[in-house]
Amino acid sequence: MKKLSIIFILALSFSIMSCGSTTEKPDGGDTTKVENNKEKKVKNSDTSKEVKPEYLTYETFKEKVWDFEKNPEEWKYEGTVPCVIDFYADWCKPCKMVAPIMDDLAKKYEGEVKIYKIDTDKEKKLAGVFGIRSIPSVLFSPMEGRPMMQTGALQKDAYIKIIDEELLNKKTITNK
């Protein structure tokens, strides 16, 4: 048994010594790879940025979505692609269930649909403009026409169906 423990320790030590370790600089630049006690600079090949929903404030909402102060009577969408706006609060459990769905939708529809988030506790004025009384509330804004509001948490498939059919005018095929 003692021999087996010594062999295991030696094997573990050998594998640790032979593996290179990599540390990444916080600035996202080169990485330093340590192999056999020699450092080598290695260029990062992963330059992809993580796609996430964008958080809007009162001012950025007016800039990117609708300037309701200029056009209070008429919805005039300012974006270049349709958008989905998740009105949420950090303390809301259903909002926390919707958050990872919105993250996934931001990745899935990158370049086709913009996913925004508005914290109703921080942006009370915006919540008031839309009469948000229940969260999560999700606003779907097409390029043309009026937006539609959905209250309550939905399954991911339901959000995809609404985006595909209402914002992108795609027919959703269901497997039955």
Active site residues: 92, 95
Q: What angle do CA 102, 119, 115 make, to 5 degrees?
A: 30
Q: Within 13 Å and on the Cβ side, how many CA atoms surround 77?
A: 19
Question: What is the rounded distance in angstroms from the CA atom of residue 86 to the CA atom of residue 97?
Answer: 12
Question: What is the rounded distance in angstroms from the CA atom of residue 145 to the CA atom of residue 121?
Answer: 28
Contact 89, 119 (CB under 8 A): yes
Question: What is the rounded distance in angstroms from the CA atom of residue 106 to the CA atom of residue 50?
Answer: 10
Take residue 138 and report the two structure tokens written for it.
């999700």
Sequence length of the chain is 176
* 174 burial via Cβ count (<10 Å: 0-12, 13-18, 19+): exposed
Q: Which residues pair with 41 in a beta bridge?
A: 32
